[in-house]
Structure 1
């Protein structure tokens, strides 16, 4: 018996094993052979959370239909299609979808970059769907004979590519087998420009990986910076809320207002903070994830300086990192004031609990005093009751036993006097036993304190 899995043994395999293996290969890298031109866009709806797989696929199907190409599979997250003199690569992500058009067979256009490819992303097609352009790149890949000519060729052509006195970043990448330059601004048509110079020793796979990392850097940068307006709005709101919280806590400390008013103020502050947190939580989380991807993609380029230009890592550290720090600061301040508000609410709750306990203690003391007064009054009433009942009992017994005075040498007055003490004792004993039966502990035992 060999170690190979037989057909009948597939039920031994976990149902998700093969899908997870397929996921590792779901987004293959581009394969680009210099010279080449490339047009790239990332589409995202204006409203967060409205990008769905159905929307993404419908937009792709409409694009392919314009070229008579077959649609992708129903559950596809990646699709590649040969459209004649160019190739389309499409990817579906959680918040956006990307379209990459590249032509590497012949490069005969006078256009320095790939504006002629961008024309295929027609306005009527874009307007028909909710997905809007969040990132747009036009790129060129040129073949240079050897690596010693990379810097010279870049120096000669950069002015034509990016304009006179243009500020662009550039670096050797992939162990100096290629050089990449980008200006991270938009041209008159709204595209960011990327130029890549590849020597003859670099293959299509490495060329494609380097270019795709640049495209991902630009896309993830754009997606992460969607959080910046949210962060600025939150920082503006936090100033007002922080002032309100400080005034409320100060009033609580000085006891300038009652607990009800302080609680009402804290509830307003807490509700505003909860609303800000609910509206921004997704964007803050996404910003952290995208920022991590940007830094990882830059590291994978393995940059080395060329022509003394600013490298991509340096550009991002100077221009991109401050924006992300603003987002992180807004998130941290939001969490901080939320914690301080919760702490103030706990202090108010403690204060109310202490006040309530003191009031309850005073109330119980008053109830004890009243109970003692009632007990003394009850004892007084009980004594009077014994006397009254005994008086009537002696009177009745005197009338009942009056005939005996004729047979015994006892007057009626002496008989009545003799009856007073035993009758009073019997009345007092009877009332005491009745009191015991009426006043008992919950378990049925007599309350010994009574």
Structure 2
């Protein structure tokens, strides 16, 4: 059974199509009714917006997009689905009764070639998980394809086994949307934002969805379109909503003399600065290279306030990468024509050198090394283990227990997270040997702010 939406969207009255003994439908974050403000603005649109009764016609662009799933769309959907399933399992297993997934530009649910898109993939994973199916609250919105998505969800085998019925809306994301979320205390929420172009994606929206405990945001950043329009005065309002007025002025001045990779680095630096400003403490991007051209089309950007979510997403994105160097370092991008090497200089050897210098004079566990040093770096734990093993073999660090006292694994000494690593002082630094004060308590590591 699928939800239909009343004429008061997302605030209070989400009503089931037929009577059921299942759990009552859940509004955003499962926290009960939210009333309209005095101005009468609806949740996802401007004042006076209402659910459209007529079936909307697909645009030519939409028809072309949904004709067949591209490899890029498949990779994007797999990253989102795998991470959503992992976080839902962790939070649900910890006792949470509601774990929320929000998709404000959800699409049709299925391509013309019968391939499922992200909403159906997320729901199917939940249906097959005995823990997650009891706690997952899903809220989908798409102003053009809500009817098609609702029909696809209704036909999904096992959908009736979910405790919380999926809610489907067809409102346009507008200025009132972040205001609504800002007023609410969200349950643990993963929000995915993937607008056509960039209209609707804003600092305020990301902040409103990220502000509460265990809330995380993923958004598809259309670099190609944004890059073209940064200096376009006719879309200044959209650019200001995304970057902020002062930052946009600075960015416009900076990119005027830049092109290619230098221009992209400037744009992405401004974007990450904005994300940190609205509360994102950890950020990891995944780059999509335009088919048939060596230039960026999009970035899938994830942000969290907790290291564990950041760690898991890096694992997911690393595995989804189209290229892995011989030493195991992932490209963190999808490119139908993978490069011959990583142009950004990342390698296990470079990581080992960075560890020896950055952590000189300290003593800490492998887990602490990774959590402290890997922030803002596109490496995963296997890269760190390999780098540490190389340093140990070269006699540049000592470990307790030593290599000979640890069981072998695939022809090398194993390296559990509780092994203590001593980084000698650099001979020219005069730094004192510092021991880490404590090992992070695993009971307090799960997706906390």
Return the TM-score normalized by structure 1: 0.28
TM-score (norm 2): 0.28
